[in-house]
């Protein structure tokens, strides 16, 4: 059977499609997918991305996590290559630009039908294919959360469970109280819940601890010596993960008899998940290295381009605008020439920390190059940006830097530009903030200067 979310397709192609022996379900509303996919698993879904109210790529991930074997054909208004790549990464089978020729669409469907008929419809094979499909989606997922969602949705479906809790050992460096914390067998965990409310999850954990004491605690403590065993009794299951920072998955309300093949597939899924988690961790570490300046520990220009692209894409109104501070250390060449490059490098590192400590936690600070720094202040008008820049300038002027036997004082020159007041693209904004900074240096240094608007020039 085929689900279609586009009523316009029905008007255009209904007569042509109805001549084919296919069970069509027209106008399947996106908001009802989640509920429908828990009950039914369509073979095909023809999805018009323009009719999806939530983030389209997120919707694709959600569909594939709930029904991994459903083949998805996407129809799109955009020829953006990145959108298409993201859609294929989410697990779609085909991607077509609108308007789509009905013969082309039928060919795509028939091609997928042919691929499916080449495989015998055997329940065991279908189950194997499903877990392979899920592990593939996990391996290409772009976040830990997405990996968790794919895993949990699959396990809830296979075990016919009413809910699941992902238990992760609590980060000991955090002392803040958290409503999602729970202590089990003397170990503190944070919990992420699927399929139930927080109160029900707590009741299920209490019942489990009371009926089967020390199962979770023992498996946690055994991580360092061996792989803890997968454990299932009655309507509950505890699936520990290899690495202690990953914790484990607690399933409850299980209504299906858990056979050996199900356990084997679960263990295969878990091992694949662990590898994907580790690969993702290494990828993030490598990515951070490419975005971090070695000397100061601040972001570098590579991440600046990425951050500004995201900032521009997320803006809805002029009030959501952001400001750029272009910051330069006055007479830094004198520091290098007088005290040497080692102390000059130490100075840059100290200035980087000073700048970061004077910004809000959600702003970004970059080492732009040499003795130049750039800050992005989100949701900020010119007055607020000037206030922040003045605070930075005054704190730098008052700071006494001590290196070995040397005492050094510095000042900063700062230029400010704002989106959308000064420009509507990142190159213009950076250029104007840079010019304002040089205006400060030219007229005495140790100043904050706002870039001129075009109407003022």
CB count in 10 Å sphere of residue 1: 12
Structure confidence at residue 454 (pLDDT): 62
Segments making up each domain of the chain, as ranges: 2-118, 125-287, 301-456
Dihedrals φ, ψ of 164, to 5°?
Answer: -150, 150
Task: Give the pLDDT score at 448.
Answer: 96
Q: What pLDDT is attached to residue 457?
A: 44
User: Out of 1.20.58.740, 3.50.30.50, 3.30.70.270, 3.30.465.10, which CATH number does the structure's domain 301-456 have?
Assistant: 3.30.70.270
Q: Is the pTM of this model over 0.75?
A: no
Per-residue pLDDT, 291: 86
Kindly give the pairing relationship between strand 2-4 and strand 44-48: parallel
Q: 332 burial class (0-12, 13-18, 19+ CB within 10 angstroms)?
A: middle
User: For residues 437 and 328, what is the distance between their CA atoms, to the nearest angstrom?
Assistant: 7
Q: Judge whether 125-287 and 301-456 match in fold.
A: no
Residue 407 β-bridge partners = 402
DSSP 106-135: HHHHHHHHHHHHTS---HHHHHHHHHHHHH
Q: What CA–CA distance (Å, rounded) separates 46 from 9?
A: 10
- Strand locations in 253-405 (E): 322-329, 364-369, 372-378, 401-403
Q: Does domain 125-287 have CATH number 3.30.450?
A: yes
**pLDDT for position 173:** 45
CATH number of 2-118: 3.40.50.2300
Angle between the N-to-C axes of helices 260-291 and 123-140, in degrees from 0 to 180, rounded to the nearest 10: 10
Strand ranges across the sheet with 163-169: 181-184, 187-194, 163-169, 248-252, 236-240, 231-233
Return per-residue pLDDT of the chain as tens, 457 residues. 566 766 666 666 656 655 555 666 655 565 566 667 777 777 788 888 777 766 777 778 878 877 877 888 888 887 777 788 888 888 888 888 887 777 787 788 778 777 666 555 677 777 887 888 888 888 888 788 888 888 998 899 889 899 999 988 876 444 444 567 888 877 788 888 887 788 888 899 889 888 888 887 777 766 555 556 778 888 999 988 876 567 889 999 999 988 888 988 998 998 888 888 888 888 877 777 788 888 998 999 988 888 888 888 777 665 678 999 999 999 999 998 898 888 999 999 999 999 999 998 889 999 999 999 999 999 899 999 999 999 999 999 999 998 878 899 999 999 999 998 898 888 999 999 999 999 999 999 999 999 988 655 4
């Amino acid at each position: 059977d085929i689900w279609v979310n586009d009523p316009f397709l029905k008007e255009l192609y209904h007569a042509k499609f109805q001549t084919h022996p296919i069970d069509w379900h027209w106008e399947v509303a996106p908001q009802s997918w989640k509920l429908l996919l828990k009950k039914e698993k369509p073979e095909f879904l023809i999805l018009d991305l323009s009719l999806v109210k939530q983030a389209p790529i997120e919707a694709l991930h959600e569909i594939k996590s709930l029904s991994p074997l459903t083949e998805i054909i996407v129809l799109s208004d955009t020829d953006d290559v990145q959108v298409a790549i993201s859609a294929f990464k989410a697990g779609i089978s085909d991607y077509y630009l609108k308007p789509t020729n009905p013969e082309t669409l039928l060919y795509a469907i028939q091609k997928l039908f042919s691929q499916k008929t080449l495989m015998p419809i055997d329940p065991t094979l279908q189950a194997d294919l499903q877990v392979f499909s899920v592990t593939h989606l996990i391996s290409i997922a772009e976040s830990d959360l997405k990996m968790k969602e794919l895993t949990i949705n699959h396990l809830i479906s296979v075990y016919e469970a009413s809910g699941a809790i992902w238990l992760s050992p609590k980060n000991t460096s955090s002392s803040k109280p958290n409503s999602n914390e729970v202590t089990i067998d003397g170990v503190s965990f944070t919990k992420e819940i699927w399929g139930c409310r927080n109160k029900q999850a707590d009741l299920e954990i209490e019942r489990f601890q009371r009926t089967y004491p020390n199962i979770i605690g023992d498996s946690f403590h055994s991580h360092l010596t061996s792989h803890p065993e997968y454990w299932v009794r009655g309507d509950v299951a505890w699936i520990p993960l290899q690495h202690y920072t990953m914790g484990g998955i607690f399933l409850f309300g299980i209504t299906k008899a858990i056979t050996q093949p199900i356990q084997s597939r679960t263990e295969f899924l878990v091992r694949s998940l662990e590898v994907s988690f580790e690969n993702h961790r290494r990828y993030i570490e490598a990515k951070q290295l490419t975005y971090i300046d070695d000397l100061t520990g601040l972001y570098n220009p590579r991440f600046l381009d990425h951050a500004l692209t995201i900032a521009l894409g997320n803006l809805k109104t002029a009030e959501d605008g952001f400001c750029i501070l272009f910051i330069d250390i006055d007479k830094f060449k004198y520091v290098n020439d007088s005290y040497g490059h080692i102390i000059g490098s130490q100075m840059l590192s100290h200035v980087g920390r000073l700048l970061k400590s004077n910004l809000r936690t959600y702003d970004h600070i970059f080492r732009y190059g040499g003795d130049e720094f750039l800050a992005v202040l989100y949701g900020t008008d010119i007055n607020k940006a000037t206030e922040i820049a003045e605070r930075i300038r005054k704190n730098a002027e008052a700071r006494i830097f001590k290196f070995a036997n040397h005492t050094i004082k510095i000042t900063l020159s700062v230029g400010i530009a704002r989106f959308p007041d000064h420009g509507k693209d990142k190159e213009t904004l950076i250029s104007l903030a840079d010019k304002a900074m040089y205006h400060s240096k030219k007229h005495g240094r140790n100043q904050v200067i706002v870039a001129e608007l075009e109407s003022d020039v």
